[in-house]
A and B are shown apart, each in its own frame.
Chain A
Amino acid sequence: GAVVSQHPSWVICKSGTSVKIECRSLDFQATTMFWYRQFPKQSLMLMATSNEGSKATYEQGVEKDKFLINHASLTLSTLTVTSAHPEDSSFYICSASDGLAGMRGSEQFFGPGTRLTVL
C-alpha cells in the first residue's frame, strides 16, 4: 500500500526558532500534498494544500509567512514553522494524493504525524 512518512516524529524547540517538518511519499508520486494541524482532543484542521511545483494554497486564518510550505518534488513536501511560539505546539500531519481519480474517490494517504512542542 501507499506509504507516507514524516520526519521528525517529534521535536522540541525554543521559542523564536524555526522548525522544518518533512513529508515524503515513499512508493508513489504525490501530485498533491496537504498539511493539517491537530490540537489535543480536537479534529484535524487543514492548513494548506500544495501541488508539486506551485505555490501552496493556505486556508483562511493560516499565516503563509509563518508556515512556509515547499513541494519541490513529487515525493517531498516540507512545512517550516518560522519563529515558533508555544501556541504553535501541536500535532502536524501531512497527507498525499497520487492524483488518480476513479472508484477510489480522492483517497489520501496520511503520514504518522509530527509532535511539535515549543518551549
Chain B
Amino acid sequence: LAKTTQPISMDSYEGQEVNITCSHNNIATNDYITWYQQFPSQGPRFIIQGYKTKVTNEVASLFIPADRKSSTLSLPRVSLSDTAVYYCLVVNSNSGYALNFGKGTSLLVTP
C-alpha cells in the first residue's frame, strides 16, 4: 500500500479557502486518491476521489498533478462545521481492499 504524508494540523478562519496537500510518492498505476472526513465520535465520510488532473464536486475539489505523486484537497470558503480530521488515502481500483488510514490532518476553523 502506498504511504501518504500530510500535515498533522491546519488552522483557518471562516470563509477562507483551505488547501491540504498530501504526498504519495509510491502510488501505483491502478491506485486512486481518496479523501475522507471524520468528525469526533463518527465514522469517516467520503469526500472526493480522483485519478488525475482535477475533480470537483459540491463539497470540494481535488487537484492531482501529472506525476500523481501528490494531491491537494481544496475546501472553498470553509465554515466552522468543516472542523474535522481529513484523511488522504491511496486505494486500489479493485473493490474489497482495506483502507490504510494515516494520521490525517486536523483542521480547525475559527470565527
Contacts and interface: CB of A to CB of B under 8 A. Distances in A.
A6 B42 CA distance: 11
Contact of B92 (A93, A100, A105, A113): A105
A93 B43 contact: yes
A7 B99 CA distance: 22
Interface of B: 32, 34, 41-46, 49, 87, 91-104
Interface of A: 4, 6, 31-32, 34, 36, 43-46, 49, 51, 91, 93, 95, 97-102, 104-113, 115
Given A31-B95, A105-B32, A106-B94, 16 more contacts: A34-B98, A43-B104, A44-B44, A44-B99, A45-B101, A95-B44, A97-B96, A101-B93, A101-B95, A102-B93, A105-B95, A106-B92, A106-B97, A107-B34, A113-B41, A113-B43
A113 B42 contact: yes
6 contacts: A43-B101, A43-B103, A105-B91, A105-B95, A108-B99, A112-B43
